[in-house]
Amino acid sequence: MFLSLQNKIFPKAIKITPSPVNSLSCILNNNNVHSKFIVLNTSLNSRVILNQPLRNYVTENENKKNDNNNKEKLSQQQKNTKIGFFHKKPKEVFRFTDPRVEQMRIDLEKRTVWRDPYEKAKKLGRPISPKSTMSSKQHIYSLIHRTIGVILCTGFTVIALTYPFMNYQWSSVVQYLSTLSPRTALIGKIIIGTPLSYYTLTLFKKLIWESTKGFNKNFIRKTDRLTFYASLILAAALAGFL
């Protein structure tokens, strides 16, 4: 009797249910730390898998530390830089935010980029350097040109500096030259005019070397010979007219 009353008052199947969860609790798998999903336990005891990647707090802290270090370095550099009368502040460079404008700027930089002269010389058929392809004769021509330039420079400077202090009568020199025969005078004029004509023609030759497209070894040899013979002809022509 007592047992029956106890069963009625206190039923057998009394289950203590857990209190409902008011907030979302994050359940992570301990075995898989680098999992790309988060499992949530709601008040309805349902598990929803969301495609939401986990936040890497370690890398975020490292990035914050790096940013702080960079800011400290910039502040120290600004303190160390002297701003005075002779020290100007660096100009701020404006950067475009539009990607189209930035791409246009990159394209312009690619067009004006420095090109390798060796590749350009190969495309145009030129040697790497004229002196590297010169033979012994071409080196002799170059040496003659340089010696003539040195002699002319020193000669004109010496004459220009000493002429005001010289009490020499040039009329006697003119009379002596007039007494010479035409043959000797012509030879003397050619000897004096050949270095001058060769020097001037060599300068034009080097300008042609810089402007031509089909630049090769044969062209160098031909132009060297042409300038040498043309200087003799020009000196003879000037001596005949003068």
Give pLDDT tens digits for 115-158.
666 666 677 666 665 555 555 566 777 788 888 888 888 988 98
Map out the domains of the chain with their CATH numbers: 17-55 (no CATH), 129-166+177-241 (1.20.1300.10)
Q: Which residues contact 90 (CB under 8 A, 6 or more apart)?
A: none
Strand 47-50 relative to strand 25-27: parallel, antiparallel, unpaired? unpaired
Q: Alpha-carbon distance 176 to 91, whole Å?
A: 72
Between residues 87 and 17, the one the model is more confident about: 87
Quick check: 190 pLDDT over 80?
yes
Q: Is 49 helix (H, G, I), strand (E, B) or coil?
A: strand
Give pLDDT tens digits for 57-112.
445 566 677 777 777 777 766 665 555 555 566 566 555 566 777 777 777 766 65
Report residue 134: phi and psi, to 5°. -75, 145
Residue type, 145: H
Mean pLDDT of the 192-206 span: 87
- pLDDT category at 164 given cuts 50, 70, 90 is confident
- pLDDT category at 34 given cuts 50, 70, 90 is very low
Quick check: 207 pLDDT over 60?
yes
Query: What percent of the chain is modeled with pLDDT above 70?
Result: 50
- Whole-model pTM? 0.41
What's the pLDDT at 45?
43
Structure-token match 């040109």, residue found: 145
Closest alpha carbon to 195 in 153, 130, 145: 145
Residue type, 214: G
The answer to whether the CB of 169 falls within 8 A of the CB of 210 is no
Instruction: Report CA-CA distances (Å) from 77 to 34, 71, 73, 91.
Output: 40, 10, 6, 16
Closest alpha carbon to 197 in 225, 158, 237: 237
Quick check: 55 pLDDT over 70?
no
What's the pLDDT at 22?
41
